[in-house]
Structure 1
Amino acid sequence: MLKVILSVAFLAIISTAIGYQQLQATLQSPLNISENTQFEVKKGTGFNKLCQQWQAKNWVESCWRYQVIAKLDPTLTDLKAGLYELSNTSVINNIKKINQGQQISFSFTIIEGQALRDVLVNIKNAPNLNNDLKLDELGKQIINEDTLLEGWLFPDTYHYQHNDTASSVLKRAAQTMQQTLSDAWQKRANNLPYSTAYEALIMASIIEKETALASERPLIASVFVNRLNTKMRLQTDPTVIYGLGENFDGDIKYKDLRNHTPYNTYRIDGLPPTPIAMPSKEAILAAVNPPQSDYVYFVAKGDGSHQFSTTLKQHNAAVKTYILNKKN
């Protein structure tokens, strides 16, 4: 009798050891793919269906061992829909990635000084993004206002996942811009020549387009503030270009400066009706807190920087130095 008991115990130990080895082998068994592969888990996909899909692709030999492991660890069956990047690590590790919702992250970037039309073209072509934008009522859709969305999208890189909506990305950009503008407006300087945060946003967009040098934004802002305070016209080319839209051929002509449009600041007083681009935080801060200066003119030097002047005589001399002499 004792021999029988010992034999049974020995067989049980052997079976347990074999079972443990098989379990370890299953836990370490890699997904049979040669390179990282994108795989979409559809909504409602269960553990058994997922394994069957992988078996059909010859990524796993069989499913029953993984089903046994799932019985031991039921959390593995809680799969989250989405797009995942699978690797040739263990099958279990790949399942855990899906279990934890570690989806592929995509990104969309709004560039400082970018116009709305360019943002919309880019987001339309963004990969794995559901384009749900309603172009005829974009303001209502994104910021709940019946207004042009120009200027209201904060320049930054926004991350999203497969099948997220374009509107959700733009809403995040708009919320960031609204908060940035609100914070800056609360700390604005006194005696600004504009009375609302929206007008400051318009000014910031002009500053953004006038210079690519962050260090010059405050001085550009001071020039425009000085002009508005002395009832001078802004006379800034970027607003003219914006008003021309698709008709702009890359070169501003004299007739363009004479053409009366709401954005031609050579012909209108004060600010244009809307922003002309997406301004950076630095441009907004410059618009609401410009430094004190006597500058009312500036001209491009040709190297990305500008020469600033306090009188028309100085400005004409700078134009001769940096513009006319270059043409001769």
Structure 2
Amino acid sequence: MLKKIFLTFFVACIVAIMAVNWQLKQYPLQTLSIEQSRLFLVQSGIGLKQLCQQWRINQLIESCFGLEVMAKLDPSLTDIKAGMYQLNPGTVLSNVQKINRGEVHLFSFTIIEGQTFYQVIDNLASLPFIQRSTYIYDKDKVQKALNFTGENIEGWLYPDTYFYTANDTDISLLKRASLKMQQALKEAWQQRQADLPYQSAYEALIMASIIEKETGIAEERPLIASVFINRLRKKMRLQTDPTVIYGLGDDYKGDIKRSHLRQPTPYNTYVIKGLPPTPIANPSQKAIEAALDPLQSDYYYFVAKGDGSHQFSKTLDAHNAAVRRYQLKK
């Protein structure tokens, strides 16, 4: 009788060992119960057991037994790093190992060429999983937070895509964009053409912002730049609509009128001589390069042709004819 009991116990142990062994072999193939990628926040101080329990509560995994046994064999699995992670359809093990490596999810934020400071802030304010500053729409306070030494932050945010992790701050993104613009302008200024009519790199940045707003065709930028350079050298007013629009601010309703061209503002280049006091947008790298390395031309005028491109003219008579053809359709 005792022998029979012992034999039964021995067989039961063998079966249990085989079952555990089979489960361990199968566990690396066990997948998370998700059909598409999803974000999951791993809180600071959490351990592997707590993480697995959270997954089980959220019905991402049926049992934690296999994972706990695997962790006994591979202690590195217990090294859980806090952060926001993107869980992917795949094995439980591969997702845990991603957390072990600290491969937190990266969110993206893009500053688009030609956006103004407040347009950038509008986009920044809508970003997910970012710490928002209460003063983000106060330009003076933002400049102070950035340690910005210039008079106006407009134009100083480099258009690019920036990546951030959950709980990064909005100011940290703006600081990266500002530093990148400062570096880009410094390098371009050092390689500028000789005898350009700028007193400083800042004036070149102002010009680049105007070029950026005048054309969306990259190939036209150096030629647009040549027109404005020629006009500056001749002491002619720039007479560019984007500066007028910027100066109007909220009063601009999408349609520029003749009265707007006569309305005095610091940015109305139909009224003022030379450049406006600040940039009117954040210029692209290509616009900066065009401002500092313009084409040589005899053009003093240009008019939009209606297809995104421009007709360039050397004389006022030729320009007026182009206006009649492309704007007035006469």
Residue 179 of structure 1 pairs with residue 183 of structure 2 = yes
Match of 2:205 among 201, 206, 211: 201
Q: 2:192 maps to which residue?
A: 188
Q: If the length of structure 1 is used for normalisation, what is the TM-score?
A: 0.90
Q: 2:260 maps to which residue?
A: 256
Match of 1:153 among 129, 150, 157: 157
Q: 1:144 maps to which residue?
A: 148
- Counterpart of 1:282 in structure 2: which amino acid? K
Residue 65 of structure 1 pairs with residue 66 of structure 2 = yes
Structure 1 residue 323: deviation in Å?
2.1
What pairs up with 1:163-312 in 2 under 5 angstroms? 163-312=167-316
Cα RMSD (Å): 2.3
How far does the alpha carbon of each residue in 1:272-299 deviate from its partner, in whole angstroms, 9 at most, with x for none? 1110011111110110111221111111
- Counterpart of 1:209 in structure 2: which amino acid? K
2: CA distance, partners of 1:303 / 1:87: 45
Moved more, 203-212 or 78-87: 78-87
Structure 1 residue 122: deviation in Å?
1.0
Q: Answer yes or no: is the 8 Å Cα contact 1:143–1:174 preserved in 2.
A: no
- Counterpart of 1:119 in structure 2: which amino acid? V
After superposition, the Cα gap between the structure-2 partners of 1:61 and 1:299, relative to the gap in structure 1 and judged at 3 Å, is closer
- Counterpart of 1:268 in structure 2: which amino acid? I
Q: 2:3 maps to which residue?
A: none
1: CA distance, partners of 2:74 / 2:255: 68
Structure 1 residue 100: deviation in Å?
1.6
Moved more, 13-22 or 74-83: 13-22
How far does the alpha carbon of each residue in 1:265-322 deviate from its partner, in whole angstroms, 9 at most, with x for none? 1111111111001111111011011122111111112221111111222222222222
Residue 314 of structure 1 pairs with residue 312 of structure 2 = no
Matched residue pairs, number?
Answer: 320
1: CA distance, partners of 2:290 / 2:56: 60
Moved more, 184-193 or 40-49: 40-49
2: CA distance, partners of 1:41 / 1:308: 59
What pairs up with 1:16-165 in 2 under 5 angstroms? 18-132=19-133, 134=136, 135=138, 136-145=140-149, 147-165=151-169
How far does the alpha carbon of each residue in 1:38-74 deviate from its partner, in whole angstroms, 9 at most, with x for none? 2111122111211121222333333343222212212
After superposition, the Cα gap between the structure-2 partners of 1:314 and 1:57, relative to the gap in structure 1 and judged at 3 Å, is closer
- Counterpart of 1:96 in structure 2: which amino acid? Q
- 3-state SS of 2:146 partner: helix
- Counterpart of 1:81 in structure 2: which amino acid? A
Q: Answer yes or no: is the 8 Å Cα contact 1:240–1:256 preserved in 2.
A: yes
- Counterpart of 1:257 in structure 2: which amino acid? L
Structure 1 residue 144: deviation in Å?
2.6
- Counterpart of 1:42 in structure 2: which amino acid? Q
Structure 1 residue 210: deviation in Å?
0.7
2: CA distance, partners of 1:100 / 1:63: 20
Q: Answer yes or no: is the 8 Å Cα contact 1:258–1:267 preserved in 2.
A: yes
Q: 1:4 maps to which residue?
A: none
After superposition, the Cα gap between the structure-2 partners of 1:219 and 1:68, relative to the gap in structure 1 and judged at 3 Å, is same
Moved more, 42-51 or 160-169: 160-169
What residue ranges of structure 1 are gaps of 5+ in the alignment? Answer: 1-6
- 3-state SS of 2:327 partner: helix
Q: Answer yes or no: is the 8 Å Cα contact 1:35–1:88 preserved in 2.
A: yes
- Counterpart of 2:317 in structure 1: which amino acid? K
- Counterpart of 1:254 in structure 2: which amino acid? R
- Counterpart of 1:38 in structure 2: which amino acid? L
Structure 1 residue 142: deviation in Å?
2.8
Q: Answer yes or no: is the 8 Å Cα contact 1:140–1:147 preserved in 2.
A: no
Moved more, 247-256 or 131-140: 131-140
2: CA distance, partners of 1:302 / 1:90: 55
- Counterpart of 2:166 in structure 1: which amino acid? H
- Counterpart of 1:111 in structure 2: which amino acid? I
